[in-house]
Each structure stands twice: as C-alpha cells, then as structure tokens.
Structure 1
Amino acid sequence: MQRKIPEALNLHRQSQQLELKYSSEETYQLSSEMLRVHSPSAEVRGHGNPVLQTGKKQVQITSMEMVGHYAIKIHFSDGHDSGIYDWGYLYDLCRNQQKYWEAYLEKLHQAGESREPDTDVVKLMIS
C-alpha cells in the first residue's frame, strides 16, 4: 500500500464528503458512509472476519483528530470512533473507492441487508 500524505483535508459538512487533496491534480472525496463502512477498526474488520456494516447511509462525521503524524481518527454520529485511518489506508480508499464500494453493495445485497437505517418499530403487546 502506497503511503501518500494529503496536503489538505477538508470536511464538507453539508454533503458529508471528506476531501483529500494530494496535489493540484490529485484530489479525492470520500463520503462519510464510505469511511464508516470501511473503518479500519477491529469492530469492523472483526479480527480477520469482517463485520458487514448496515444502515449507515445517513451517518455523519462529527469530528476528526490527528493521530501523530501518520493518521486521523474520525468520530461518527452513530458513536463509532475506534478507527485509526493512516495515510496509506486513506490513499488506498481514495484510489480504489469504486471497486470497494461496488463490493460493499454486493455484500449488502447477498446478505439481504440495506444501507438505510433500521426504522422498524417494535410493538408491545399488552395483555
């Protein structure tokens, strides 16, 4: 994995896109959903057995912080904040996002799951 450090990071809050600028000719945008479902955390990667992330379509980035000089930590609106996104991993996501996104959508489809948040209402039976 190539380790390329972005010159600038810009979070577009309204569109929930993280813009990574590597040079004037090389700029990418990653959605908050893409970053959340591909979090490098153990919770998502599952210690070698990845856990499919569902219902994350509306997740938002609430904040970001630097981790040394090698990564960022992203905090999401669903409470997830344990992923450390190093520069090499972010660059890989940028360069391969179409392939990763299509694979993610296929996994969702195969599992019968959705990007939409679960909005099922539980009805209580009172006797």
Structure 2
Amino acid sequence: MKITPTDIRLHSKSRLLEVVYQDETFRLPCEYLRVMSPSAEVKGHGPGQEVLQTNKEDVNIVAIEPVGNYAVRLIFNDAHNSGLYSWDYLYELGSERYKNWQAYLAKLKEAGIERADQPNDQYLS
C-alpha cells in the first residue's frame, strides 16, 4: 500500500516540515530530517558505513523539489541535497521519530559529542 501525503508545508521560521497524511500529521524538525537523510552521504553504501551527522542544530530547509509522484528532494542550507525522501520514508520518519531520535542521541553520546537542547526537540520526545 502506498502512503501519499495530502500536504507538505515548510515552516522556515520554526525550522519544521509539516507532513500531512490522511491519518496523521507530523511536524518534523529540519535537523532531524537532515541527520536522517536517506542519502548515501549519510547512510553509506551498506551496513556499518553510516556517517554520524553532527552540528546540524541550526540547519534549515531552503527548498523542496518534487520527484515524480513518490518523493521530494529536500535542499538544506548546509548544501546537502542528495537525499530523496519517499512518501513512505517520510511517514516512517514521522511514525518512528521518538525511537530514531533516541538512537541518534545515543550515537552522539557514544562518540563524545555534546548537543545543546533545541526548541524543536519537543517534537521528538
């Protein structure tokens, strides 16, 4: 079953991407979307090749480009633009945001990297 959003809105000032599906609305911080990018630059080319993304607290989305009828390319102000966010992946990111965010914070801690709490963390915990 293909899940397609009914609306996508960027709230630049608050650095949130609002993704509306028929059954759910997600408000996803730009930082979260950036560190969870499906690009090879972030995910690597296979298991164990992931690259931990750091210092992305202030990142914002500057453009959203449709890709066919199945995805969007998010263009970030740190020049990252290689991730294609399928409708299913965006839904998964929204549904699993608490678990994904805790795993990301654990990886930062394991790497000895400190991250200051951000106002948008409320959407992830």
TM-score (normalizing by structure 1): 0.85
The one-letter code of the counterpart of 1:71 is: A
Q: Which runs of 5+ in 1 are unaligned?
A: 117-127
Letter in 1 for 2:71: A
Indicate the residue corresponding to 1:52 in structure 2.
Answer: 52
Count residues with an aligned counterpart.
114
C-alpha offsets along residues 74-98 of structure 1, whole Å, 9 cap, x if unaligned?
0001110000001111110010000
* Root-mean-square deviation over aligned CA pairs: 1.3
Residue equivalent to 2:20: 21
Identical amino acids, percent of aligned pairs: 49
Q: Do structure 1's residue 33 and structure 2's residue 37 form an aligned pair? A: no
Which whole-Å CA distance do the structure 2 matches of 1:102 and 1:65 have between them? 29
Offset at residue 46 of structure 1 (A):
1.1
Give the whole-Å Cα distance in 2 for the aligned partners of 1:31 and 1:15.
Answer: 8
How does the TM-score come out when normalised to structure 2? 0.87
Q: What stretches of structure 2 of length at least 5 have no aligned partner?
A: 117-125
Larger Rg: 1
1:81 lines up with 2:81 in the alignment: yes
Counterpart of 2:40? 42
